[in-house]
Every structure is written in C-alpha cells, then in structure tokens.
C-alpha cells in the first residue's frame, strides 16, 4: 500500500462544539479512508496495466488518481490544521506577518479566504497556499483537484464538502466557515509556511 490513512492528531471530540465528534468519525474513518483506498486502487491498476495484466481506461484511471490522491493529501493537511476552540484565535509569528504583507491585514485575508470557501461551486476546498518564493495565495478548489495551481503548496485548508458540515450546519455553509476560524491551529500553519 502506497498511501495510508493517518491517525487523527486528537480525539474525535476535540473540535466540539464547532465540529461534532459524529462528523469527525464519519469524515476521517469513512471519507478520508475512501480516498486512500481509491488512490491505492488507481496505482494498482496502473501497475497491472504496465505488466500487461489488465486493460485500463487510462483517462479514467488518471482522473481517479488525481481525485483520490488530492483528497488524501488535502485531508492529511486539514486534520492537523485544526485544534480545540479558542476565543480570538489569530496567527502569530512568521505566518501572521506574511499574511499582513500579502493581504494587507488579517481581516482582509480572512474575508478573502471565507469568500473563497463560501463560493466554491458544489464540493471543494478553500486553501491558503504558498509558491516557491513564499508568496501567499487564496485558492478555491472544486472537488479535490480542479482549479488547483501546480507548484502552489497548501498550508491551510478548509473542507467545504457537505460531508464536512451538513450533519451539524445543514445548508448553512457560511455559519460553518465563520465558526471554523476559532479552531485553526496557527502553529501548524506557521510550521508549514
């Protein structure tokens, strides 16, 4: 197995009341595990095709690979990007300065990132990503892999697939996005930056 499901860095209850234990359980154990399985399956198919043991629809398998590997990678960043709830949760040190420099202020960044998260069409993600020179960008990603820019590395990601919030917030994605700011683990984002 090339890809493995990482353990959550905290208990299922850790992010309550912002994200319920029930959502965390399903999201990590079922959804993320599904992407890991899908990524390994796509690799196995390519391996078999190489050996002449299997005929594959290349376009389909490569699409599955892109979708599932990105799903796995994004969720693997998403879990440690969060921690227990904190009032007035804000970035400190390096990443705080970099956000000010790139976006003008933390409030301006928060507004841009939240707008990206709320406006993703269908299922997707908002990310704060850096290029090789350390410049920061907000990206909106559809599904796990569309509209992503090659070479931009996500350092803070927010899952806005319905499976991430629907059990608790129903159709109110905006409320989920607003609450989520209180559980961002800025120390983890700073490390990635």
Q: Which residues bind Mn ion (CB under 5 A)?
A: 159, 161
Q: Which is nearer to Mn ion, 161 or 166 (CB)?
A: 161
Give residue number: closest CB to Mn ion: 159
Q: Which is nearer to Mn ion, 45 or 148 (CB)?
A: 148
| CB neighbour class for 73 (10 Å; exposed up to 12, middle 13-18, buried from 19) | middle
**At 2, phi and psi to the nearest 5?**
-75, -45
Q: How far is the CB of 31 from Mn ion (least distance, A)?
A: 5
Q: Which is nearer to Mn ion, 159 or 188 (CB)?
A: 159
Residue 150's CB is within 10 A of a number of other CB atoms, namely 4
Q: How far is the CB of 106 from Mn ion (least distance, A)?
A: 26
Q: Which is nearer to Mn ion, 161 or 181 (CB)?
A: 161
Rounded CA-CA distance 80/67 in Å is 21
Q: How far is CA 91 from the centre of its chain?
A: 18
The CA-CA-CA angle for residues 186, 137, 38, to 5°, reads 80
Q: How far is the CB of 122 from Mn ion (least distance, A)?
A: 13
Q: How far is the CB of 49 from Mn ion (least distance, A)?
A: 29
């Amino acid at each position: 197995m090339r890809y493995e499901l990482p353990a959550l860095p905290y208990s299922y209850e850790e992010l309550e009341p912002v994200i319920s234990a029930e959502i965390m359980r399903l999201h990590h154990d079922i959804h993320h595990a599904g992407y890991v399985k899908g990524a390994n399956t796509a690799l196995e198919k390519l391996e078999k095709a190489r050996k002449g043991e299997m005929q594959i629809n290349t376009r389909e398998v490569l699409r599955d690979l892109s979708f599932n590997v990105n799903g796995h990678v994004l969720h693997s960043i998403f879990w440690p990007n969060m921690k227990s709830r904190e009032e007035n949760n804000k970035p400190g040190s390096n990443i705080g300065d970099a956000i000010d420099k790139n976006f003008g202020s933390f409030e301006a960044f928060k507004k841009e990132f939240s707008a990206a998260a709320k406006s993703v069409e269908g299922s997707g993600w908002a990310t704060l990503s850096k290029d090789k020179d350390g410049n920061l960008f907000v990206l909106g990603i559809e599904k796990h892999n569309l509209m992503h820019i090659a070479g931009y590395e996500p350092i803070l990601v927010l899952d806005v697939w319905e499976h991430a919030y629907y059990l608790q917030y129903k159709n109110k994605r905006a409320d989920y996005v607003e609450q989520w700011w209180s559980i961002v683990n800025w120390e983890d984002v700073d490390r990635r930056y």
